[in-house]
Structure 1
Amino acid sequence: MSTETKVRAKPRKRSPRVVINADDMEHLEGLADGLQRRNAALADRLFGEIARARVVSAAKMPANVVSMGSTVTYRDETTQQEKTVTLVYPEEADIAQLRVSVMTPIGVALLGLAEGSSFDWDTRENERRLLTIISVEQPTAGS
């Protein structure tokens, strides 16, 4: 009998699943292409999310998943603070109205996540935080 003990590798935390509406895909890819020269790291994050996403038709897009135009409430698990924002394209962004661009770090992080999903977030002060999607509300027709 061997006296060696097996060392288990610490399991890597898997990223939450991402679902993207097929109707948004071309616009998102174009935005990421345009961002490549200005902010390559953020563009690469968006391309990464797009690459690992399950792309579905608008009719099959789950109502509990953050998509363009969704209003999402998320919680910072460290501070327990909740924030509600609407995910929009850059030309519609207005932080005063809590309309967050998909071309920001938080916008890229929120895109395609379902209610209950958690993800790591690095603050401007380089603190790692865990954020959890509490609720997702889809825009009503005509809004």
Structure 2
Amino acid sequence: MSRSPRRVRAVINADHVGRLESLAEAASARLPDVAEPLLAKLATARIVTSRQMPADVVTLGTALTYRDDISGREQDVTLVWPEEADIGRGAISVLTPIGIALLGLPVGGNVSWMTRTGHKRALTVLRLGVVSEAA
């Protein structure tokens, strides 16, 4: 009997929750495909103080390397607030499907999600603290 992967419960910094909720609520009318998953993640996440935030979990401002589990390609990115996003520099907005997928994920954690175009994607966080030269 095969076992399905264990769902990883997101861990989110309490200092970010209010702003994340505001972003999701503001986006709910024009971007429900990102607002709803973000609100769902916040509703089920373990919320911790900044002092309790595990060092191996992706949060806002975290530089990380992940592997695209479909293509096998590794990517260096930084998870940022929407106004800091710059895909050319590897700065991924938390208000995108991949940003929501990464938020609260620990090193070694994997997640799958649907892109805005309806394609299934999957990734695994490999390490934190690595930033590409472009970022």
Shorter-chain TM-score above 0.5: yes
Matching of residues 16-95 of structure 1 within 5 Å: 16-95=8-87
Give 3-state SS (helix, strand or coil) of 1:44's partner: helix
RMSD across aligned C-alpha pairs, in angstroms? 2.1
Count the aligned residue pairs. Answer: 130
CA distance in structure 2 between the partners assigned to 1:52 and 1:61 by the alignment: 16
- After TM superposition, the score normalised by the length of structure 2 is 0.87
**Structure 1 pair 123–28 and aligned structure 2 pair: CA distance change class (3 A):** closer
Give 3-state SS (helix, strand or coil) of 1:135's partner: strand
Instruction: Give the one of 129, 133, 136 matched to 2:128.
Output: 136
Instruction: Give the one of 91, 109, 112 matched to 1:120.
Output: 112
CA distance in structure 2 between the partners assigned to 1:23 and 1:92 by the alignment: 18
Q: Which runs of 5+ in 1 are unaligned?
A: 1-7, 139-143
Give 3-state SS (helix, strand or coil) of 1:41's partner: helix
Give the corresponding residue for 2:133: none
Greater CA radius of gyration, 1 or 2? 1
Contact 1:63–1:137 (CA under 8 A) maintained in structure 2: no
Q: Which runs of 5+ in 2 are unaligned?
A: 131-135
Structure 1 residue ranges (4+ consecutive) displaced by more than 3 angstroms after TM superposition: 10-14, 121-127
Give 3-state SS (helix, strand or coil) of 1:43's partner: helix
CA distance in structure 2 between the partners assigned to 1:27 and 1:122 by the alignment: 24
Contact 1:64–1:137 (CA under 8 A) maintained in structure 2: no
